[in-house]
Amino acid sequence: MLDLVVRNGKTIDGKKMEIGISDGKIVALTEKIDQETRKEIVLTDDQYISAGWIDDHVHCYEKMTLYYDYPDEVGVKRGVTTVIDAGTTGAENIGDFCELAKKSKSNVYALLNISKWGIVEQDELADLTKVQRDAVRTAIEKFPEFIVGLKARMSKTVIGSSGIEPLRLAKQFQHEYGELPLMVHVGSAPPELSEILDLMEKGDVLTHCFNGKENGIFDREKQQIKDFVWDAYTKGIVFDIGHGTDSFNFDVAKQALREGMKSTSISSDIYVRNRENGPVYDLATTMEKLFVVGYSWEEILTQVTERPAENFHLTTKGKLAVGYDADMTIFTIKHSEKELIDSNGNTRKASQEILPMETIIGGQVYDN
């Protein structure tokens, strides 16, 4: 007997299916399931289903003060089945975060900040004595299921006078400790974006890829994407949205699209202040902004499911397929007028909203 069957399901591209779930896994995926089940849910004709949405850049360690939130506030309540905290904690406090995360309905993972206390203050990489090789190794060995990558924030307010050295250290740790994925935050110089991209390799994640800052990907004088950015893009560096309070600009994203450059993954960089006061609000709103820029819903959904799962080696997530975790998002597309705002105060009118209705995590159904 199955634990749950999802009936009348269809994906955004119109593929119809029924999904059978047992022991938290997808065990059947076909046009019609005739097996007995303990529970079933029937989607309405205006509802779609996708693999569970993954937000690979959030801040949800509730004991911090600078950037913090609660996993379920940015996760299951927002249609997101899996959140990856992007370096809020370091080796000294990630253990406490791991214990707290176990209480959440949402799946929670973490990127380990290379600074041992994480983002207690804005300048965590200004003092390189806080970047300790042995501490990083010990944390990775102690929490291998929780830590899915490393995080280095490479912008002026974070590094102080440390220059590019924190990123050099992050790359050393990455190669020494099992080739973990590395996410790199970019912002105002120093260091220069060109220096950062020179050190990054295929598969490394550049977050805040479409920020509107002078040290971003857009050459304001030439009104085009910088040549060295194209070099990084073509060598396989992952371009992640990481919207955040200061790091998404409609015009930059649109210009990139005109030139044929698209993000690889869509994330929110959400925490309590930009969730409650904007401009982020939730992952769905960030997805809507990429739709306004010109991405299709099919592309957008891939960038919050399959792509982040691949980038962070979540091998049983990100797809509707037999053997994968029973994490799914049920949603509708509503035609309505909605004003969206980017990190620089620019507005756009959206004609469609994406609205999560139910979230399934490990086979458990939660209403939104």
Domain containing residue 96: CATH number: 3.20.20.140
- Does 317 map to a domain? no
- Considering the domain architecture, whether residues 348 and 242 belong to the same structural domain is answered as no
Q: Give the CA distances from residue 325 to residues 26, 52, 229, 363, in Å, rounded to whole numbers and listed in that order.
A: 6, 9, 36, 8
- Considering the domain architecture, whether residues 33 and 161 belong to the same structural domain is answered as no
pLDDT (average), residues 29-43: 95
- Considering the domain architecture, whether residues 145 and 196 belong to the same structural domain is answered as yes
Q: Report the run of H or E that residue 171 belongs to, with start and end.
A: helix 165-176
pLDDT (average), residues 237-260: 98
- Considering the domain architecture, whether residues 160 and 84 belong to the same structural domain is answered as yes
> Residues of 16-27 as b/e, b for ≥16 C-beta within 10 angstroms?
ebbbbbbebbbb
Binding positions are: 57, 59, 151, 185, 208, 269
- Considering the domain architecture, whether residues 118 and 220 belong to the same structural domain is answered as yes
Helix, strand, coil proportions of the chain in percent (round to 5)? 25, 30, 45
- Does 34 map to a domain? yes
pLDDT (average), residues 142-155: 97
According to the model, what pLDDT value does residue 336 have?
Answer: 87
The answer to whether the beta carbons of residues 212 and 344 sit under 8 Å apart is: yes
- Considering the domain architecture, whether residues 256 and 335 belong to the same structural domain is answered as no
Last residue in a domain, options 267, 287, 312: 312
pLDDT (average), residues 109-125: 95
- Considering the domain architecture, whether residues 297 and 155 belong to the same structural domain is answered as yes
- Does 350 map to a domain? yes
- Does 318 map to a domain? no
260, pLDDT greater than 90: yes
pLDDT band of residue 82 (cuts 50, 70, 90) is: very high
- Does 349 map to a domain? yes
According to the model, what pLDDT value does residue 246 have?
Answer: 96
pLDDT (average), residues 95-122: 97
136, pLDDT greater than 90: yes
Domain containing 307 equals: 53-312
368, pLDDT greater than 90: no
- Considering the domain architecture, whether residues 43 and 57 belong to the same structural domain is answered as no
- Considering the domain architecture, whether residues 29 and 58 belong to the same structural domain is answered as no
- Considering the domain architecture, whether residues 295 and 357 belong to the same structural domain is answered as no
Mean pLDDT of the chain: 97
**Cα(26)–Cα(30) distance, rounded to whole angstroms?**
11
Give the angle 89-93-99 at the CA atoms, nearest 5°.
100
- Does 145 map to a domain? yes
The answer to whether the beta carbons of residues 115 and 130 sit under 8 Å apart is: yes
Q: Which residue is it, tokens 């105002």? A: 188
- What CATH number is given to the structural domain containing 8? 2.30.40.10
- Does 344 map to a domain? yes
Share of the chain above pLDDT 70, in %: 100
- How many domains, the chain? 2
- Considering the domain architecture, whether residues 79 and 217 belong to the same structural domain is answered as yes
pLDDT band of residue 269 (cuts 50, 70, 90) is: very high
- Does 179 map to a domain? yes
Looking at the DSSP assignment, which residues form a beta bridge with residue 329?
A: 50, 359
- Considering the domain architecture, whether residues 240 and 222 belong to the same structural domain is answered as yes
What is this structure's pTM?
0.97
Binding positions for Zn(2+) are: 57, 59, 151, 185, 208, 269
- Over residues 189-217, the pLDDT tens digits come to 999 999 999 999 999 999 999 999 999 99
pLDDT (average), residues 180-197: 96
3, pLDDT greater than 90: yes
